[in-house]
């Protein structure tokens, strides 16, 4: 019974800290983790690798349906993500793949193709689901919905540090522009636009550390009404 499995959804724009926060919350609760952005990134990467145009809806949806992807070491720090048996854990984090992801994510048939796959991550003892539409579309019955936000400048600077730590060099200005474009595309698309779900707990993380955000979410989970 999927309904009886507890779910916490964590939605919000890129660079807001969703990934790290969700990973820690999942580990603290001993639950599974769904990094839904990684699925869109895999579809984007798959299209780029195969030379499929990012706006060719039927072709990209077919790639999404048959996506041969594995996530191993789930809620750990070192999740290995493979596409067609090749480790693409780092490659999918680049800005070019992020941008491809947000383009394919605007196609309704692609979102539909990924819906069931995302729901299959919901297994006992519980799931923390990280994305843009986890609380609004994929898990509308989640017991706790969280929406994280932060200023664009802060998000760009976090992404910059993250990429730099991985040895990927980009300019801060270029990142800020990418974030603005991606926000606009994610918020204005026709299907599943990014917005807080009804009843979501909204947390502005601009001036908050990861640990504080995690504690806020765990407090909201422990103190939720029955």
Name the residues that contact ligand C5P, by CB under 6 A. 14, 36-37, 40-41, 98, 101-102, 105, 131-134, 182, 186
CA–chain centroid gap for 93, Å, is 11
In the complex with ligand C5P, the residue whose CB is nearer, 101 or 217, is 101
In the complex with ligand C5P, the residue whose CB is nearer, 90 or 219, is 90
In the complex with ligand C5P, the residue whose CB is nearer, 29 or 179, is 179
Q: How far is the CB of 100 from ligand C5P (least distance, A)?
A: 9
8 bridge partner residues: 128, 144
Question: What is the DSSP secondary structure assignment for residue 136, as one 8-state letter?
Answer: I
In the complex with ligand C5P, the residue whose CB is nearer, 53 or 219, is 53
- Taking the C-alpha atoms of residue 193 and residue 43, their distance in angstroms, rounded to an integer, is 18
212, 129 in Cβ contact below 8 A? Answer: no
Q: How far is the CB of 64 from ligand C5P (least distance, A)?
A: 12
In the complex with ligand C5P, the residue whose CB is nearer, 32 or 132, is 132
Q: Measured at the alpha carbon of residue 97, what is the angle toward residues 151 and 92, in degrees to the nearest 5?
A: 95
Q: How far is the CB of 223 from ligand C5P (least distance, A)?
A: 26
Q: How far is the CB of 225 from ligand C5P (least distance, A)?
A: 26
Nearest alpha-carbon partner for 37 in 112, 124, 99: 99
Alpha-carbon Rg for the chain in angstroms: 16
3-state secondary structure of 158: helix
In the complex with ligand C5P, the residue whose CB is nearer, 41 or 145, is 41
Q: How far is the CB of 72 from ligand C5P (least distance, A)?
A: 18
- Taking the C-alpha atoms of residue 138 and residue 94, their distance in angstroms, rounded to an integer, is 25
Element (H, E) at 149: strand 144-149
Q: How far is the CB of 20 from ligand C5P (least distance, A)?
A: 12
43, 101 in Cβ contact below 8 A? Answer: yes
């Amino acid at each position: 019974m999927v309904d009886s499995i507890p779910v916490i959804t964590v939605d919000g724009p890129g660079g807001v800290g969703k990934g790290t926060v969700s990973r820690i919350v999942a580990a603290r609760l001993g639950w599974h983790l769904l990094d839904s952005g990684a699925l869109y990134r895999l579809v984007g990467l798959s299209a780029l690798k195969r030379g499929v145009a990012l706006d060719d809806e039927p072709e990209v949806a077919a790639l999404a349906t048959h996506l041969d992807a594995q996530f191993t070491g789930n809620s750990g720090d070192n999740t290995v993500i493979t596409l067609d048996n090749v480790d693409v854990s780092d490659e999918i984090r680049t800005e070019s793949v992020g941008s491809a992801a947000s383009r394919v994510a605007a196609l309704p048939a692609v979102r539909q193709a990924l819906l069931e796959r995302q729901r299959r991550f919901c297994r006992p003892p519980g799931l923390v689901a990280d994305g843009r539409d986890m609380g609004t579309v994929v898990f509308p019955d989640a017991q706790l919905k969280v929406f994280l936000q932060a200023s664009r400048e802060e998000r760009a600077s976090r992404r910059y540090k993250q990429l730099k730590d991985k040895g990927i060099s980009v300019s801060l200005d270029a990142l800020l522009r990418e974030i603005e474009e991606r926000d606009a595309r994610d918020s204005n698309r026709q299907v599943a636009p990014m917005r807080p779900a009804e009843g979501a707990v909204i947390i502005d993380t601009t001036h908050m550390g990861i640990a504080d955000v995690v504690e806020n979410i765990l407090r909201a989970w422990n103190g939720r009404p029955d």
